[in-house]
DNA sequence: CGATGCTTTGAAAACGTTTGCACCCATTTG
DNA sequence: CAAATGGGTGCAAACGTTTTCAAAGCATCG
């Protein structure tokens, strides 16, 4: 371990008595170097404690082999599973991953996206906080940055991967109805997501087909946990309260439960509740939530695959992928009648 | 918006009819430029859609103004609050933040730290997964990378900021004892953290002073949620089960609850439980956990402050900060007797 | 013995910025 | 009127790599 002066490849080269080029080639395995010189170089590297400089390398290569991830980590724990899958997939491809937390704040999201682009990442995978009008989306499009949208499908000009919302809603409303619930309320998620639009649509279609549709039971979209709680409150204060609440995403689930709980109501005794998006602890705490689960690993893998393709050919036609949800039946909707 | 050729400052300079240097100075505000030329430059920039290249800039400046964050996002939701605070603080200082998820995997942690160093971040803030022997910690020390350790205080050669574990344990054991619990079990967290050692120490001291210490009620450290569940299981199968369990961190809390719940036991009816680390949903689900809460914002701010200082003077004497915990009394330990 | 081919290596031009130094011109000053 | 001042700008050398082009050494062959 030397004292401390900037160690560059030049230092290594001198120490090993070879040229700069040779050091580079040894380190990258990018052309044949005789065994003896290679060893000389390696020895020099460890002797002086040389650490490669990614910045210089990226500049010279005009490529970073890095993709940027922009998610809202705060409430959406399941994003972490998606991220893990993306990372695993990218690592296999020799790609680095830069993670950023957008906090679901469109302004912050935009700053992150711009920063990422200035850092010259090869591509960006984004769970957009805003709709097609959002600054981030516009930026990505105008600058032709290779990008993939996840979960909230905001804009069909991009590659997208998310849940099959139609199936998700049907899975859970069918379940609710089978258990005998009639007055089913919906608290939809963020209003600008097409995801939300689709879920509302599917919900109305399903209930309407059963003659159960009551638009008074569909609250306005909830953008925050607080808003979800407020909508729930209004629902419970209304003339005839619902006998089941379907929460459009985990933020809504948490908001609704907060309100229900603070009123001292019990689930499923006083009210059924079901959500979209699972929680790790859902099996251990009461009420044990019945939820629709997303195939996170699959979503992540697909996103990774799409971004690679997009990086390779920026002009390919955009693809949209819908993954199959599954229903996790627990106890928050009442007891399941025995199958006959 | 032009078709698509690499736009560099040179392009801008030609378009504006000025020199490369002037463009740079205009963009950075780094020396006076006459208003008219400045406007010329700005116009050229938007005309051709120039996007600055962070890589080249960092290389030329030999500095990235970036700090790396290495946390385990998966289980430790409260890390997100710490991260938010760090980000806010760094933004105020014009520093970028690169976030990485270590998954509490020492090997991955090491890879990340090395990658960050190769990217030439100014400093690293780390919630170490391993102890002082871990590859990451060793790497940081050997390469003299400015670093701050958070939460799990692994090595006194570094700046550190975490919880005052002594106070935390006393807060919650006192509470438990006041409620009449005698047989209090402890499920400690990851064994290599000094945090864990301190918590066990404080726990033993407190109970011992009350003549309540029973080493049979202290399980081995739990490294995963699964292990925590197993330790709980063993505890409950033992001859005389505890009347209260204190979980050393949120992973332990979740593991313990999983087991308790799967046995159909009710908290606090059959058993009291208290944890260290709060959950956002803890108020809405049963049992409503009584926990010790960390001052996340404060921890984050301190970490940011420390890393700045460390970056400025690599050889300053390391500081260790212990933040004051607070007890959040809910219902999982039984009902609080009225204060007299 | 000169030409040919193979193996191994080096020199130097990128990559896109920042920044120290010097320059030019117009104005003020002695 | 020459010299000093100062506002505004440009040149070119870094920054630490990658990579193209070509050369040097050496044996083989006709």
Set of chain B residues whose Cβ sits within 8 Å of the Cβ of A101: 80, 83-84, 87, 99
Does B37 contact strand D, using a CB cutoff of 7 Å?
yes
Q: Whose CA is closest to A115, among A130, A127, A102, A132? A: A102
Same domain (yes/no): A173, A155: no
Poorest-pLDDT segment among A118-122, A129-133, A162-166, B233-237: A129-133
- The residue in chain B having the minimum alpha-carbon distance to the alpha carbon of residue A77 is B74
Of all nucleotides, the one whose C1′ comes closest to residue B58's CA is C17
Set of chain A residues whose Cβ sits within 8 Å of the Cβ of B87: 101
**Distance (Å) from the alpha carbon of B198 to chain A's nearest alpha carbon:** 27
In a domain, B217, yes or no: yes
Q: Is the dihedral of CA A190, A191, A194, A195 positive or negative?
A: positive
In a domain, B245, yes or no: yes
- The partner residue sitting opposite A118, judged by closest CB among B51, B258, B283, is B51
Decide if A185 contacts A273 (C-beta within 8 A): no
Q: Say which CATH number the domain at B71 has.
A: 3.40.50.2300
Cα separation, A311 vs B332, whole angstroms: 52
Angle between helices A165-178 and A194-209 (to 10 degrees): 40
Q: Testing the interface with B: which of A54, A139, A247, A269 to mutate, by most B Cβ within 10 A?
A: A54
- The partner residue sitting opposite B58, judged by closest CB among A55, A143, A286, is A55
Same domain (yes/no): A249, A170: yes
In a domain, B73, yes or no: yes
- The residue in chain A having the minimum alpha-carbon distance to the alpha carbon of residue B1 is A142
Q: Decide if pLDDT at B257 tops 50.
A: yes
In a domain, B335, yes or no: no
Cα separation, A249 vs A75, whole angstroms: 10
- The residue in chain B having the minimum alpha-carbon distance to the alpha carbon of residue A100 is B99
Does A54 contact strand D, using a CB cutoff of 7 Å?
no
In a domain, B312, yes or no: yes
Same domain (yes/no): B255, B170: yes
In a domain, A113, yes or no: yes
Nucleotides of C under 7 A from a protein CB: 7-12, 14-20
Cα separation, B256 vs B267, whole angstroms: 11
Same domain (yes/no): A311, A289: no
Give the alpha-carbon dihedral of B54, A157, A275, A239, to 10 degrees. 120
Of all nucleotides, the one whose C1′ comes closest to residue B19's CA is D10
Same domain (yes/no): A284, A319: no
Question: What ranges make up the beta strands (E) of chain A?
Answer: 66-71, 96-101, 123-126, 147-150, 159-163, 184-187, 244-247, 272-276, 290-293, 320-323, 326-328
Cα separation, A14 vs A31, whole angstroms: 20
CA/C1' separation B304–C16 (Å): 31
Which residues lie closer than 8 Å to A200 by C-beta, 6 or more apart? A186, A188, A218
Same domain (yes/no): A222, A312: no
CA/C1' separation B47–D13 (Å): 30
In a domain, B339, yes or no: no
Same domain (yes/no): A143, A172: no
The model's pLDDT over B143-193, given as tens digits with 9 standing for 90+, comes to: 999 999 999 877 889 999 999 999 999 999 999 999 999 999 999 998 888
Classify the phi-psi angles of A97: left when phi > 0, otherwise alpha if psi is within -120 to 50, otherwise beta: beta
CB contact under 8 A, B285 and A257: yes
Which helix (H) or strand (E) is A231 found in, with range? helix A225-237
Q: Decide if pLDDT at A150 tops 80.
A: yes
Q: Say which CATH number the domain at A31 has.
A: 1.10.260.40
In a domain, B213, yes or no: yes
The model's pLDDT over B202-217, given as tens digits with 9 standing for 90+, comes to: 999 999 999 999 999 9
Same domain (yes/no): A48, A140: no
Q: Whose CA is closest to A143, among A165, A121, A166, A173? A: A121
pLDDT of amino acid B2 = 41
- The residue in chain A having the minimum alpha-carbon distance to the alpha carbon of residue B284 is A258
Give the alpha-carbon dihedral of A167, A172, A178, A182, to 10 degrees. -110
pLDDT classification of B336: cutoffs 50, 70, 90: low
Tokens of A51: 């650490």
Per-residue CA distances from B51 to A254, A320, B55 (Å): 41, 29, 12
Cα separation, B57 vs A56, whole angstroms: 10
Same domain (yes/no): B172, B283: yes
CB contact under 8 A, A84 and B103: yes
Same domain (yes/no): B96, B129: yes
Q: Whose CA is closest to B254, among B272, B284, B277? A: B277
The model's pLDDT over B41-100, given as tens digits with 9 standing for 90+, comes to: 999 999 999 999 999 999 999 999 999 999 999 878 889 999 999 999 999 999 999 999
Q: Burial letters for B129-145: b for 16+ Cβ neighbours within 10 Å, e otherwise?
A: bbbeebebbebbeeeeb
Decide if A126 contacts A100 (C-beta within 8 A): no
Same domain (yes/no): A198, A230: yes
Same domain (yes/no): A207, A134: no
Range of the domain at B76: 63-163+296-323
pLDDT classification of A191: cutoffs 50, 70, 90: confident
How many residues does this entry show for chain A? Answer: 340
How many beta-carbon pairs below 8 A join chains A and B?
113
Indicate the number of domains in chain A: 3
The percent of residues in chain B predicted with pLDDT above 90, rounded, is 87
Q: Is the dihedral of CA B102, B106, B107, B112 positive or negative?
A: positive
Q: Decide if pLDDT at A5 tops 80.
A: no
Decide if B172 contacts B164 (C-beta within 8 A): no
Cα separation, A195 vs A201, whole angstroms: 10
């Amino acid at each position: 371990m030397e004292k401390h002066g900037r160690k560059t490849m030049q230092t290594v080269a001198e120490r090993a008595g070879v040229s700069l080029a040779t050091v580079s080639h040894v380190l990258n395995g990018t052309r044949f170097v005789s065994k003896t010189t290679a060893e000389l170089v390696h020895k020099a590297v460890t002797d002086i404690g040389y650490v490669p400089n990614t910045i210089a390398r990226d500049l010279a290569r005009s490529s970073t082999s890095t993709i940027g991830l922009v998610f809202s980590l705060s409430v959406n724990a399941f994003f972490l599973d998606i991220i893990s899958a993306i990372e695993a997939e990218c690592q296999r491809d020799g790609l680095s991953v830069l993670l950023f937390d957008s906090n679901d704040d469109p302004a912050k999201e935009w700053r992150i996206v711009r920063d990422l682009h200035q850092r010259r990442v090869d591509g960006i995978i984004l769970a957009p906080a805003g709709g097609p009008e959002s600054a981030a989306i516009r930026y990505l499009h105008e600058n032709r940055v290779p990008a993939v949208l996840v979960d909230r499908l905001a804009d069909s000009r991009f590659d997208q991967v998310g849940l099959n919302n139609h199936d998700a809603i049907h899975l859970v409303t069918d379940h609710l109805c089978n258990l005998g619930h009639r007055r089913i309320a919906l608290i939809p998620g963020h209003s600008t997501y097409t995801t939300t639009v689709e879920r509302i649509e599917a919900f109305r279609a399903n209930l309407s087909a059963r003659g159960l549709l009551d638009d008074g039971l569909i609250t306005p979209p909830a953008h925050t946990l607080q808003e979800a709680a407020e909508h729930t409150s209004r629902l419970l204060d209304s003339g005839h309260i619902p006998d089941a609440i379907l929460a459009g995403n985990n933020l809504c689930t948490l908001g609704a439960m907060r309100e229900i709980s603070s009123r001292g109501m019990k689930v499923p005794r006083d009210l059924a509740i079901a959500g979209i998006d699972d929680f790790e602890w859902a099996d251990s705490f009461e009420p044990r939530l019945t939820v629709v689960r997303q195939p996170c690993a699959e979503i992540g893998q697909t996103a990774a695959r799409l971004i690679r393709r997009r990086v390779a050919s920026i002009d390919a036609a955009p693809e949209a992928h819908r993954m199959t949800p599954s229903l996790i039946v627990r106890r928050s909707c009442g007891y399941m009648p025995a199958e006959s």
